[in-house]
Amino acid sequence: NAGVMQNPRHLVRRRGQEARLRCSPMKGHSHVYWYRQLPEEGLKFMVYLQKENIIDESGMPKERFSAEFPKEGPSILRIQQVVRGDSAAYFCASSPESRQDPYEQYFGPGTRLTVT
C-alpha cells in the first residue's frame, strides 16, 4: 500500500508565476489536509478537504491560494502569482474515513517550493 504521494518534490517558480502542488492520498483515504512549513517553524494547517468538498479552510491565505480535491484524481494546492514569502515546504496528509483511528494523519514527503 503506497503512502501519501506528493509531486513535484521540488518546485522553482519566478515571482508572479503559478505553482501547482499535487497530492495523492493513501489508498482508501478520503480526507486530505494541506500544511505549510516555513523555515524554523512548525507546520501550519492550511485546509482540510474531503472528496469534492472543502471542510475547513481557516488556515488558507485569503488571496492567491486555492485547493481542490476532485472526485477523480489528486488534490491540488494552487498558488497564483507567487511571491518570495510563499517559499516553504508544503505537506499533504491523509486520513481514512474510519473513526477507529481518530485524527491520525499520514504525511507525504512534501513539496519544497522556492520562489526566485
Partner 1 sequence: AQSVTQLGSHVSVSEGALVLLRCNYSSSVPPYLFWYVQYPNQGLQLLLKYTSAATLVKGINGFEAEFKKSETSFHLTKPSAHMSDAAEYFCAVTGYGGSQGNLIFGKGTKLSVKP
**Residues 60/65/71/72 CA torsion (nearest 10 deg):** -130
Which of 11, 67, 82, 108 lies at the binding interface for partner 1 (CB under 8 A)?
108
Name the residue nearer to partner 1 (CB basis): 17 or 112: 112
Q: Is 65 a binder of partner 1 (CB under 8 A)?
A: no
Residue 40 CA to residue 96 CA, distance in Å, equals 30
Question: C-beta of 15: minimal distance to partner 1 in Å?
Answer: 24
41 binds partner 1 (CB under 8 A): yes
Part in contact with partner 1 (CB under 8 A); list of ranges 13-21, 31-39, 63-71, 80-88: 31-39
DSSP class per residue in 61-99: -SSSEEEE--SSS-EEEEE-S--GGG-EEEEEEEEES-S
Determine if the peptide bond prior to 8 is cis (ω within 30°): yes
For the bound state, the minimum distance from the C-beta of residue 86 to partner 1, rounded and expressed in Å, comes to 19
Looking at 15-23, 61-69, 71-79, 103-111, which segment touches partner 1 (CB under 8 A)?
103-111
Q: How far apart are CA 60 and CA 48, in angstroms?
A: 10
* CB-based contact 42:105 (threshold 8 Å): no
The residues binding partner 1 (CB under 8 A) are 4, 31, 33, 35, 40-45, 48, 55-56, 58-59, 91, 93, 102-110, 112
